[in-house]
Copies of this chain bind each other. A is one copy, B any other.
Amino acid sequence: MYIEKINGPADVKRLSAGELETLSEEVRSVLLKKLSEHGGHVGPNLGMVEATIALHYVFNSPIDKIVYDVSHQSYTHKILTGRKAAFMNAAEYDEVSGYTEPSESEHDFFVIGHTSTSVSLATGLAKARDLKGDTGNVIAVIGDGSLSGGEAFEGLNNAAELGTNFIVIVNDNQMSIAENHGGLYRNLQLLRDTDGQAPCNFFTAMGLDYLYVKDGNDVQALISAFQKVKDIDHPVVVHINTLKGKGYRLAEQQQERFHYSIPFSLETGNPSVDFGNEEDYGDLTARYLLQEMKRDRTIVGITAGTPTVFGFTAERREEAGRQFVDVGIAEEHAVAMASAIAAGGGKPVFGVYSTFIQRAYDQLSQDLCINNNPALILVFWGGASSMNDVTHLCLFDIPVIGNIPNMVYLAPTCREEYLAMLEWGIHQTKHPVAVRVPANGVISRGIEPEKDYGKLLNRYEVSRRGEKVAVLGLGSFYQLGEEVVRKLKEDTGIDATLVNPRFITGVDEELLEDLKCDHTLVVTLEDGVLDGGFGEKIARYYASSDMKVLNYGIKKEFADRYDISELLRDNRLTASQIADDIKRVR
């Protein structure tokens, strides 16, 4: 085996051509074993094995700096830069993150997790190099899927003006998470079909030099190409054609399924854990939308490269036909387009992960809310229990969305309420609406929910009227609110009031005034960062009165790969801690 002797790029350089090919196979085996046992990004990493080996063979990291877009495809890079143990030894699997991480290695320059940033970041490294009069290559590795993001375009546009050494490896595997979308991809196809010779070339049109590698999984061809551009004195794109999932037949054939996987059986490709037929909001949403789409041909679902966030599998996308649009990884465009569809009389529904809607703040504000167009945005996975990678935190959507004028941001507490808000959101014509889909499982409260949230604007639901203490349990923390009320009753005999605020973006002044009569403390619970969040508005409302307020949520910090129970406890987000605090304050 060669992989066992790789402690850094220098060891890669010692290998011969044949040995490098064997190394590729070994890396693939190691990856497949870890991925099947541990889960992670499968297709992207299998496709990048040879290119990563070739990069470290030709370039001298970390003097030469490589930046990986999204960086979910950096597993081989980690193996070759001193971290193989985390891939070969099950006990150490979690010693590395799923993305580049400077604290692990000098070969990693940034923590990255969102798309389309590599070229911009790399231009910064190049500029710093030039300002300091240093030498060294700067290389950005970006997948074709990431090219649809506006920031990548901005980076490429500026790269050409840099005028100095700058290398962009475009890893073209003809896939995003799902299929690619956009006119640009036709040009990539043309370039592949003409072996990079077509005169009409997006990259050269952007002012960049260009080189094509037909077989991006052939180590020698890659080494040859990389050697051509090494130490080049101007910006150049090396366009490599790779196969996503290469080396594992099932990943090659089911590219969308194996973009990312939880632990699975190598033999069958099936997940090792069976979640059964437990309902999830994504699935529920897609089924509901498809049914509505048939009745109303102006309803259109929109995604920015993540169709399954709201249950739109390949089959369902096919079924929806022209009533489903994937704009590529382009959240800004998705929001503006949704606003205009609504303006034009259509009924747009944009489904998006909490962590990604923050990419479109200006469009939410300008394109959508200033124009008060009645588009509907479904924000999924908002809260602390969804994704715990620092670059995929779902804790900031409330401050991002909730402080924009005109926006109506709803927080359902259960299945019934979610469906009612979804229905109202789609058909109403007066407000830009967003719904924070609960991320704590599909729970039924058995209630008959309201239907017209426009009529009820900013009126909270009092689910039980008590006295002394009022608990406002927002969205997925409503159930925590129920627990708090129970614990308080147990511990102190107090019959607290329980409120479901429903409206993240509104303060129910009438209710809040009314509570002053027989309450001395209001407690807010939100599954998100406190700063800029819901609770602060309640605190501000009562600030000059005698009413005391306790705000619970997540403190403002970038936690990474946290244990959810620990995080909740650190933030005093358990019923007993909250009950204790209430006792202390009263």
CB atoms of B537 and A531 under 8 A apart = yes
Given contacts A540-B539, A548-B543, contact A337 B124 (CB under 8 A): yes
Residue A363 at the chain B interface, CB threshold 8 Å: yes
| A383-439 residues at the B interface, CB under 8 angstroms | 390-391, 396, 399-400, 402-406
CB atoms of B205 and A344 under 8 A apart = no
Chain B residues near A399 (CB-CB < 8 A)? 399, 403, 532
- Give the complex CA separation of A536 and B130 in angstroms: 44
Say how far A212's CB is from chain B's closest CB, in angstroms. Answer: 15
CB atoms of B391 and A370 under 8 A apart = yes
Residue A473 at the chain B interface, CB threshold 8 Å: no
CB atoms of B125 and A343 under 8 A apart = yes
Residue A267 at the chain B interface, CB threshold 8 Å: no
Contact of A207 among B151, B187, B371, B535 (CB under 8 A): B187
- Give the complex CA separation of A332 and B124 in angstroms: 13
The interface bits of chain A over 334-352 (1 if a CB of B lies within 8 angstroms of the residue's CB, else 0) are 0011111111111010000
Residue A143 at the chain B interface, CB threshold 8 Å: no
Contact of A131 among B323, B400, B536 (CB under 8 A): B323
The interface bits of chain A over 137-162 (1 if a CB of B lies within 8 angstroms of the residue's CB, else 0) are 00000000000111111111111110
Chain B residues near A130 (CB-CB < 8 A)? 322
Chain B residues near A531 (CB-CB < 8 A)? 402-403, 532, 537
Given contacts A205-B201, A327-B154, contact A121 B337 (CB under 8 A): yes
The interface bits of chain A over 202-219 (1 if a CB of B lies within 8 angstroms of the residue's CB, else 0) are 101111100000000000
Report copies per complex: 2
Q: A-side binding surface: helix, strand, loop or mixed?
A: helix
Residue A300 at the chain B interface, CB threshold 8 Å: yes
CB atoms of B155 and A153 under 8 A apart = no
CB atoms of B110 and A343 under 8 A apart = yes
CB atoms of A362 and B369 under 8 A apart = no
Among the listed stretches A42-50, A177-185, A482-490, which one makes contact with chain B, having 4 or more residues with CB under 8 Å of it?
A177-185
- Give the complex CA separation of A332 and B154 in angstroms: 8
CB atoms of A182 and B199 under 8 A apart = no
Given contacts A343-B125, A403-B396, A540-B551, contact A120 B337 (CB under 8 A): yes
**Which of chain B's residues has its CB closest to A203's CB?**
B205
The interface bits of chain A over 108-139 (1 if a CB of B lies within 8 angstroms of the residue's CB, else 0) are 01111110010011111101111111000000
- Give the complex CA separation of A342 and B127 in angstroms: 10
Chain B residues near A322 (CB-CB < 8 A)? 130-131
| A371-391 residues at the B interface, CB under 8 angstroms | 371, 390-391
Residue A365 at the chain B interface, CB threshold 8 Å: yes
Contact of A340 among B113, B123, B131 (CB under 8 A): B123
Residue A453 at the chain B interface, CB threshold 8 Å: no
Residue A297 at the chain B interface, CB threshold 8 Å: yes
Say how far A135's CB is from chain B's closest CB, in angstroms. Answer: 13
CB atoms of A151 and B363 under 8 A apart = yes
**Which of chain B's residues has its CB closest to A127's CB?**
B341
CB atoms of A343 and B109 under 8 A apart = yes
Contact of A155 among B121, B208, B333, B365 (CB under 8 A): B333
**Which of chain B's residues has its CB closest to A585's CB?**
B544
Residue A325 at the chain B interface, CB threshold 8 Å: yes
Chain B residues near A182 (CB-CB < 8 A)? 157-158, 160-161, 206-207
Say how far A401's CB is from chain B's closest CB, in angstroms. Answer: 10
- Give the complex CA separation of A348 and B132 in angstroms: 13
Given contacts A184-B206, A206-B202, contact A120 B155 (CB under 8 A): no
Contact of A367 among B117, B125, B206, B581 (CB under 8 A): B117
**Which of chain B's residues has its CB closest to A586's CB?**
B544
Residue A499 at the chain B interface, CB threshold 8 Å: no
Say how far A374's CB is from chain B's closest CB, in angstroms. Answer: 12
Residue A196 at the chain B interface, CB threshold 8 Å: no
Q: A543-B543, A543-B548 are in contact. List 6 more A-B contacts (CB 8 A).
A: A124-B338, A132-B344, A132-B345, A156-B183, A187-B206, A404-B556
The 7 closest A-B pairs by CB, nearest first: A150-B150, A183-B207, A124-B340, A160-B183, A128-B344, A154-B333, A120-B336
A interface, CB within 8 angstroms of B: 65, 67, 102, 109-114, 117, 120-125, 127-133, 148-161, 181-187, 199-202, 204-208, 235, 297-298, 300, 322-323, 325, 327-328, 330, 332-333, 336-346, 348, 358-359, 361-363, 365-367, 369-371, 390-391, 396, 399-400, 402-406, 521, 529-532, 535-537, 539-540, 542-545, 548-551, 556-558, 581, 585
A–B pairs, 23, beta carbons within 8 Å: A109-B343, A110-B371, A120-B340, A121-B367, A125-B340, A131-B297, A131-B298, A131-B300, A149-B150, A154-B333, A157-B181, A158-B183, A158-B330, A159-B183, A160-B184, A184-B206, A186-B207, A200-B200, A202-B206, A402-B532, A521-B544, A543-B549, A543-B550
